[in-house]
Structure 1
Amino acid sequence: MSKLELRKQVLAIEEIFHEGGPVVEVPHMRGAAFAIIKNPFAGRYEADIQGFMDDLRPLGLQLAQKLAYALGGADKIEGYGKASLVGAAGELEHGALWHAPGGYAMREVLKGTKAIVPSAKKVGGMGARIDVPITHINASYVRSHFDSMEIGVNDAPRADEMLLALVMSTGPRIHSRSGGLEASDIKGEDGLK
């Protein structure tokens, strides 16, 4: 039986037309889909917590599908990341349970990604925010896609809750010009280059 108790979901989409330079015709899009759930381990130490990852898998898939659709479809996604924000009665390890359900859900929806899904996690009070790292879906060394998206919500996480997030983007940062490996030069062999 699932231990998942969902309080709310949030979908946030940014359309970025410029960062101080010329306005682009097609905006760079960055989005987050996240859920606020009850932390079933809040307020106590529990030695065996891995089973909860199975309860999180359907949520990960739902969020990944919703986010890819909102950004124009899975074929438009070039960057991704994930994060968890644990309420004060929980512990960092509870947020670590999101690694596999969140990451593998995006891989399933985006089909064939090679790069590791970057992540962040922390414990914070109500209204806390977290920066979710973003890298290219097939090569972590593609510098133009190094990015992040700050997320949070004013009434979460409550002490006995967790915020679980997925983030995707449709391309490089607007006006990227920092050099390094270009997306067009990806070899796609190891998830790095």
Structure 2
Amino acid sequence: MPDFPLRKTMIFIEDIHHEGGPPPAIPRRRAAIVALVKNPFAGRYVADLQSAMDDLKPLGLMMTDRLIEAMGGIEGIDGYGKAGLAGEAGELEHTALWHVPGGYAMRERLGAAKAIVPSAMKVGGPGTRIDIPLGHINAAYVRSHFDAMEVGLPDGPRADELLFALAMSRGGRIHHRMGGLQVEDVTGEDGLR
């Protein structure tokens, strides 16, 4: 059983009060949490990685709970995304360990979330930034919720670390006007529409 010792977490909260045009009635909130963990696979090739996803599920649940708290509660959260960043001794496939634990945790805590959790992955050293893609939790075709939140830490990931990230949002982009499926028209049956 691989071990992923946690070095640190950090939470980012963004309240968007203005985007040009009239200010929104309610500011839009986006928040993200990142965690730096030891990469037990750094510096070597390991053929079977998939089982290690289960070992990361508790981390995903803890990060999700803290993120919901940072969002001010579950009410109105309608966007989410995840990302993974491997240090230089890791490989891109190590970031894919986050697909199940990150997505599973947010779906479990947010209840009826149907849409796939958008994801980004890359390899880089300390200070590398990554954009966490955001999409609607029930319908991937809701254009108003296509967005991203950039995160990064100045001291990670170190060569033998992984940075895992989750993000959530409340509401679409301010003044979204690119058409497509509207939130009020979401059926939420298949995760697409």
Shorter chain as denominator, the TM-score bin is: over 0.9
Partner residue, 1:188: 188
TM-score, normalised with respect to structure 1: 0.97
Question: Match for 1:140: what amino acid?
Answer: A
Q: In 2, Cα distance between the equivalents of 1:134 and 1:71?
A: 15
Partner residue, 1:80: 80
Q: What CA deviation, in whole Å up to 9, does each residue of 1:120-171 have, x standing for no partner?
A: 0001111101111100000000010110001101111111001000000001
What's the CA shift for 1:68? 1.1
Question: Match for 2:67: what amino acid?
Answer: L
Question: Match for 2:120: what amino acid?
Answer: A
Partner residue, 1:119: 119
Partner residue, 2:51: 51
TM-score, normalised with respect to structure 2: 0.97
Q: In 1, Cα distance between the equivalents of 2:24 and 2:127?
A: 33
Tell whether 2:46 aligns with 1:42: no
**Aligned to 1:76, what secondary structure does the other structure show?**
coil
Question: Match for 1:145: what amino acid?
Answer: H
Partner residue, 1:23: 23
What's the CA shift for 1:189? 1.6
Q: In 2, Cα distance between the equivalents of 1:74 and 1:23?
A: 24
**8 Å Cα contact 1:131/1:150 also seen in 2:** yes
What's the CA shift for 1:51? 2.4
Question: Match for 1:150: what amino acid?
Answer: E
**8 Å Cα contact 2:77/2:168 also seen in 1:** yes
Runs of 4+ aligned residues of structure 1 deviating over 4 Å after TM superposition are none
Question: Match for 1:59: what amino acid?
Answer: L
Tell whether 2:69 aligns with 1:69: yes
Partner residue, 1:3: 3
What's the CA shift for 1:2? 5.7
Residues paired across the two proteins, number: 193
**8 Å Cα contact 1:75/1:110 also seen in 2:** no
**8 Å Cα contact 2:79/2:169 also seen in 1:** yes
What's the CA shift for 1:24? 2.2
Partner residue, 1:142: 142
Q: In 1, Cα distance between the equivalents of 2:47 and 2:147?
A: 35
Q: In 1, Cα distance between the equivalents of 2:167 and 2:48?
A: 28
Q: In 2, Cα distance between the equivalents of 1:118 and 1:54?
A: 20
> Structure 1 stretches of 5 or more lacking a match?
none
Partner residue, 2:167: 167
Q: In 1, Cα distance between the equivalents of 2:8 and 2:81?
A: 20
Q: In 1, Cα distance between the equivalents of 2:162 and 2:132?
A: 15
Q: What CA deviation, in whole Å up to 9, does each residue of 1:5-59 have, x standing for no partner?
A: 1110011100001112222231100000110001000011111222221211000
